[in-house]
């Protein structure tokens, strides 16, 4: 901020008095303490009317390992599989594709005269998305098929990437999720096609390269029934793993080997949305295509549905000061009230993403540029001004604190453009630094945001507490 150095301490005191005032009209306490050569005007403004629309930003949602992420190129450990229907957001279908590799490095041996015993396929469930009231009444099954097409280690796969072809006649296993049963920590089922595993033992396939020639990978596909989209954890844990375990023996020695998704093998999931017959039917499937306006707007992680938000007149308010005047933002927050649907949990945390001159999401390097929290580096990506859904005292709102950002706009450090409101991206922060990345939400949470400007309780508000220094 371009503060007068000699008065900075005083201005900080005045700012604190304004922030902690419990009245909507700013307190004048502290005015008598200021030197006679400084004139201030302590004020509050919540009169800006928000303009919102719903847009689709689905061209940047990475669901695979990201080789451009130099800190952790194997950062994606989740898969999404299933089908669900939402009367507002439509039908969502998700599939997971991946290569299998051994849980040991380098070549190994099955020993002398190995004999196949059995094989199981395992999954680690990690949550689900969809109508949870309906899901209690329906069973769901997920099938495992062999791929006929391969994955490329050099490609960054996205939610909208084409599916990898798979063979419906080569089903390895079926995993069942019975209705009205608690989600287990892990699931294990016998391989339906045991010849697949038996051949691995008999032919001595003991390297990842040989395994890849034998099996290009697998696809996890749910039945065509509206139930849930399930989140799967693909990294081995103490309680289980996601992949295939083969049991065999040599004479009286019994052994096993695991083929799983982890290490550097490519894997990703696709998300397809059919919005026909819903309020979002006109949104289409083209990123940054048609916009939908109205008194409500929408956001959904995973599909790229976002709310475009702007405040006409805000830039003029921040910059058009009288000669010799300067605005000091003491506190600023955006307050958004969502609708509360039955059976559909709302997005637990949201970010404000910046847009560029072309109206699309602004990128800093390979990372999406979210508005940074107060006190953080303005042009970074690691510390977004995240709004957590607040259930406290039945307020049921999102609050974004953006005082530093608006001060930067007032100081001509940042150009004010519309925001994109959506689920928080997973940001990787390490002791050695920060490695951002393209959007990767790992979920399908959704929110419907109210903005009826004719109803005070249902409009998006921008509350600004500020000081005018003369």
Residue 269 pLDDT grade (very low, low, confident, very high; cuts 50, 70, 90): very high
Assign 190 to helix, strand or coil.
strand
Q: Are residues 224 and 78 in the same domain?
A: yes
Q: What's the whole-number mean pLDDT along residues 315-326?
A: 92
Q: Are residues 312 and 452 in the same domain?
A: yes
Asked whether residue 279 is domain-assigned, the answer is no
Asked whether residue 450 is domain-assigned, the answer is yes
Q: What's the whole-number mean pLDDT along residues 415-420?
A: 97
pTM over the 0.75 mark: yes
Whether the predicted pLDDT of 73 surpasses 80: no
- On whether the CB atoms of residues 299 and 450 are closer than 8 A, the answer is no
Whether the predicted pLDDT of 49 surpasses 80: yes
Res 278: pLDDT: 97
CA 428 distance to own-chain centroid: 13
- Report the run of H or E that residue 133 belongs to, with start and end: helix 132-135
Tokens read off for 96: 């997971």
Give the lowest-confidence range in 2-16, 273-287, 307-321.
2-16
Cβ within 8 Å of residue 336, ≥6 positions away: 350, 387, 397, 398, 400, 421, 449, 450, 451, 460
CA–CA separation, 82 vs 95, rounded Å?
7
Res 421: pLDDT: 97
Q: Are residues 132 and 72 in the same domain?
A: yes
Which pLDDT tens digit goes with each residue over 214-231?
A: 999 999 999 999 999 999
- On whether the CB atoms of residues 385 and 408 are closer than 8 A, the answer is no
- The conformation of residue 182, written as its DSSP 8-state character, comes to P
Domain boundary among 221, 250, 274: 274
Asked whether residue 26 is domain-assigned, the answer is no
Q: Are residues 182 and 123 in the same domain?
A: yes
CA–CA separation, 114 vs 110, rounded Å?
6
Q: What's the whole-number mean pLDDT along residues 19-29?
A: 42
Segments forming the whole domain that contains residue 336: 40-54+287-469
Res 372: pLDDT: 94
Domain boundary among 243, 274, 305: 274
Q: What's the whole-number mean pLDDT along residues 392-403?
A: 82
Comparing 19 with 285, the larger pLDDT belongs to 285
Q: Are residues 372 and 416 in the same domain?
A: yes
Whether the predicted pLDDT of 302 surpasses 70: yes
Which pLDDT tens digit goes with each residue over 133-143?
A: 877 789 999 99
Q: Which of 104, 140, 147, 148 is nearest to 123 (CA)?
A: 140
Asked whether residue 14 is domain-assigned, the answer is no
Domain boundary among 252, 274, 296: 274
Tokens read off for 212: 């890849």
Residue 6 pLDDT grade (very low, low, confident, very high; cuts 50, 70, 90): very low
CA–CA separation, 295 vs 455, rounded Å?
10
Buried b (16+ CB within 10 A) or exposed e, 12-38: eebbebbeebeeeebeeebeeeeeeee
Whether the predicted pLDDT of 69 surpasses 60: no
Res 99: pLDDT: 93
Q: Are residues 71 and 126 in the same domain?
A: yes
Cβ within 8 Å of residue 13, ≥6 positions away: 30, 33
Assign 457 to helix, strand or coil.
helix
Q: Are residues 120 and 245 in the same domain?
A: yes
CA–CA separation, 126 vs 232, rounded Å?
5
Whether the predicted pLDDT of 158 surpasses 60: yes
Cβ within 8 Å of residue 195, ≥6 positions away: none
Q: Are residues 107 and 246 in the same domain?
A: yes
Which pLDDT tens digit goes with each residue over 330-343?
A: 999 999 999 988 88
CA–CA separation, 245 vs 453, rounded Å?
58
Whether the predicted pLDDT of 30 surpasses 50: no
Whether the predicted pLDDT of 106 surpasses 50: yes
Res 439: pLDDT: 72
Which pLDDT tens digit goes with each residue over 362-387?
A: 988 778 899 999 999 998 888 899 99
Whether the predicted pLDDT of 395 surpasses 80: no
Asked whether residue 25 is domain-assigned, the answer is no
Q: What's the whole-number mean pLDDT along residues 307-333?
A: 95
Give the lowest-confidence range in 81-95, 159-173, 177-191, 294-308.
177-191
Whether the predicted pLDDT of 301 surpasses 50: yes
Residue 393 pLDDT grade (very low, low, confident, very high; cuts 50, 70, 90): low
Assign 287 to helix, strand or coil.
coil
Which pLDDT tens digit goes with each residue over 426-464?
A: 765 555 555 555 677 788 999 999 999 999 989 999 999
Whether the predicted pLDDT of 17 surpasses 60: no
Q: What's the whole-number mean pLDDT along residues 172-192?
A: 93
Residue 182 pLDDT grade (very low, low, confident, very high; cuts 50, 70, 90): confident
| Greatest mean pLDDT among 104-108, 179-183, 460-464 | 460-464
Q: Are residues 269 and 295 in the same domain?
A: no
Q: What's the whole-number mean pLDDT along residues 10-25?
A: 42
- On whether the CB atoms of residues 331 and 440 are closer than 8 A, the answer is no
CA–CA separation, 167 vs 317, rounded Å?
61
Asked whether residue 231 is domain-assigned, the answer is yes
Asked whether residue 252 is domain-assigned, the answer is yes
Q: Are residues 375 and 424 in the same domain?
A: yes
Res 68: pLDDT: 54
Tokens read off for 191: 């391989």
- On whether the CB atoms of residues 334 and 461 are closer than 8 A, the answer is yes
In the chain, what is the greatest distance between 2 CA atoms, to the nearest angstrom?
A: 97
| Domain count for the chain | 2
Res 104: pLDDT: 80
Whether the predicted pLDDT of 20 surpasses 50: no
Asked whether residue 16 is domain-assigned, the answer is no
Q: Are residues 304 and 205 in the same domain?
A: no
Buried b (16+ CB within 10 A) or exposed e, 124-155: bbbbbbbbeeebeeeebebbbbbbeeebeeee
Q: Are residues 270 and 123 in the same domain?
A: yes
Q: What's the whole-number mean pLDDT along residues 48-57?
A: 97
């Amino acid at each position: 901020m371009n503060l007068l150095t000699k008065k900075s301490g005083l201005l900080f005191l005045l700012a604190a008095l304004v922030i902690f005032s419990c009245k909507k009209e700013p307190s004048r306490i502290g005015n008598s303490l200021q030197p006679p050569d400084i004139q201030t005007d302590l004020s509050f403004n919540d009169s800006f009317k928000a303009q919102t629309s719903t847009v689709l930003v689905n061209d940047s949602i990475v669901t695979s390992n990201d080789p451009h992420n130099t800190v952790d190129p194997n950062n994606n450990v989740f898969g999404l599989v299933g089908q669900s229907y939402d009367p507002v957001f439509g039908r969502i279908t998700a599939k997971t594709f991946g290569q299998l590799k051994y849980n040991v490095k380098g070549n190994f041996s099955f020993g002398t005269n190995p004999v196949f015993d059995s094989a199981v396929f395992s999954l680690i469930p990690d949550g689900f998305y969809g109508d949870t009231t309906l899901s209690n009444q329906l069973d769901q099954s997920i099938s495992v098929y062999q791929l006929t097409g391969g994955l490329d280690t050099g490609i960054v796969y996205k939610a909208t990437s084409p599916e990898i072809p798979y063979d419906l006649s080569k089903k390895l296993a079926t995993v069942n999720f019975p209705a009205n049963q608690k989600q287990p920590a892990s699931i294990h089922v016998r391989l339906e096609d045991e010849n697949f595993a038996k051949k691995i033992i008999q032919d001595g396939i003991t390297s990842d390269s040989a395994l890849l020639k034998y099996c290009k990978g697998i696809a996890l596909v749910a039945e065509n029934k509206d139930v849930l989209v399930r989140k799967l954890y693909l990294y081995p844990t103490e309680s289980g793993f996601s992949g295939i375990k083969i049991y065999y023996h040599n004479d009286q020695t019994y052994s096993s080997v695991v083929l799983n998704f982890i290490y550097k093998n490519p894997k990703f999931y696709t998300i397809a949305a059919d919005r026909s017959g819903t309020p979002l039917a006109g949104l289409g499937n083209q990123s940054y295509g048609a916009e939908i306006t109205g008194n409500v707007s929408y956001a959904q992680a995973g599909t790229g549905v976002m709310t475009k938000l702007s405040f006409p007149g805000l830039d003029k308010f921040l910059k058009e000061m009288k000669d010799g005047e300067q605005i000091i933002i003491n506190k600023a927050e955006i307050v958004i009230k969502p609708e509360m649907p039955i059976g559909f949990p709302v997005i637990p945390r949201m970010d404000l993403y910046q847009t560029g001159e072309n109206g699309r999401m602004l990128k800093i390097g390979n990372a999406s540029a979210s508005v940074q929290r107060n006190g953080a580096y303005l042009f970074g990506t690691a510390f977004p001004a995240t709004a957590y859904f607040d259930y406290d005292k039945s307020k049921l709102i999102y609050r974004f604190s953006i005082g530093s950002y608006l001060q930067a706009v007032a100081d001509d450090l940042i150009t004010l453009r519309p925001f994109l409101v959506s689920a928080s991206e997973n940001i990787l922060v390490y002791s050695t630094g920060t490695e951002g990345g393209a959007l990767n939400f790992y979920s399908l949470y959704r929110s419907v945001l109210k903005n009826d400007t004719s109803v005070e309780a249902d409009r998006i508000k921008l509350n600004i507490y500020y000081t005018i220094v003369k």
